[in-house]
Amino acid sequence: MKTQSLLRLLFALFSFALPLALQAKDENPGHSGSIQFSCAVWDTLPNPELFYHHGGEYLPIELSVGQRSKAYPLKGVEALELFIRKATVAGAAESSAAVEYERVGTAPLLPAVNRMLFLIESKKDAKKDANGLPLRVLGIDDSLEIFPAGSYRFFNQTPGLLRIDFGGATHDLPPGELKIVTPVLPEAGGFLPVVIKNEQGLSLLENRFLAQRTCRELVIIGPPAEGRTGIAIQSLSEIIPVSPPNAKKPTSRK
């Protein structure tokens, strides 16, 4: 399927194009402070109940296909670890002490990053990730300072260079890299034309994206599904709450 092929290439290419921040993880003794993280999947996982380890507890993560999860806290660790709950041993008492968990995925935290997005892929072909686990987990910087409201973040997961005409400029995007574009928008937002071409200038996509000042959008560009041409697009949007301006206090009368 298109989404499965896209995610398979996403993780394959990313293993050859790790960001420098992720490479620096080995030089960093640990992640200081706490972070917030969200997760996203594009296919139903074999085990619908997923947990993460935090503060000595196994806490559930609620996932919806094609959407961001809510933000979860994480503190005092160097990696996000994901678990599934094992079946209760026959005859064991129904208590938390009898519940066992199995680790199924992990990804390191990025140094000096306080907000991350983890993309999770299930390996249906029985292959495992580099850690020998059934889930592949890819973590990227999701902080508002890097990826602000009103911006688009393009992720090139095709084998070749892409040229993206968007926001009044042309942006070269090599394979496996990300590019953030913050277009100038009217107050109410609007539809902006986007043209994606290959390195030879052949147009692969012509469309219009709805851009809003209170929304940010991750756009993953992958190869087409088998038997098709062009490119495949997956997007993940998030509304960023905006604090209302301080109300003007009425002038007091004496």
Q: Is residue 253 part of a domain?
A: no
Decide which of 141, 168, 202 is a domain's last residue: 141
Side chain identity at residue 98, one-letter code: A
Q: Is residue 178 part of a domain?
A: yes
* Phi, psi (rounded to 5 degrees) for 185: -125, 145
Closest CA to 195 of 228, 218, 163: 163
Residue 95 CB-density burial (10 A; 0-12 exposed, 13-18 middle, 19+ buried): exposed
Q: Do 123 and 182 fall into the same domain?
A: no
Q: Do 123 and 89 fall into the same domain?
A: yes
Per the structure, the complete domain to which residue 85 belongs is given by 2-141
Closest CA to 105 of 87, 122, 117, 88: 122
Q: Is residue 11 part of a domain?
A: yes
Q: What confidence tens digit (pLDDT) does each residue in 42-67 have?
A: 888 988 899 999 988 999 999 999 99
Confidence of residue 121 (pLDDT cuts 50, 70, 90): confident
Instruction: Report which of residues 12 and 171 the model is more confident about.
Output: 171
Q: Is residue 182 part of a domain?
A: yes
Mean pLDDT for the stretch of residues 213-217: 94
Q: Is residue 125 part of a domain?
A: yes
Q: Do 14 and 130 fall into the same domain?
A: yes
* Res. 214: pLDDT tops 70: yes
- Total domains in the fold of the chain: 2
Domain containing residue 174: CATH number = 2.60.40
Decide which of 96, 112, 141 is a domain's last residue: 141
Confidence of residue 126 (pLDDT cuts 50, 70, 90): very low
Q: Do 176 and 131 fall into the same domain?
A: no
Q: What confidence tens digit (pLDDT) does each residue in 168-197 have?
A: 999 999 999 999 999 999 888 999 999 999
Q: Do 62 and 82 fall into the same domain?
A: yes
pTM for the structure as a whole: 0.77
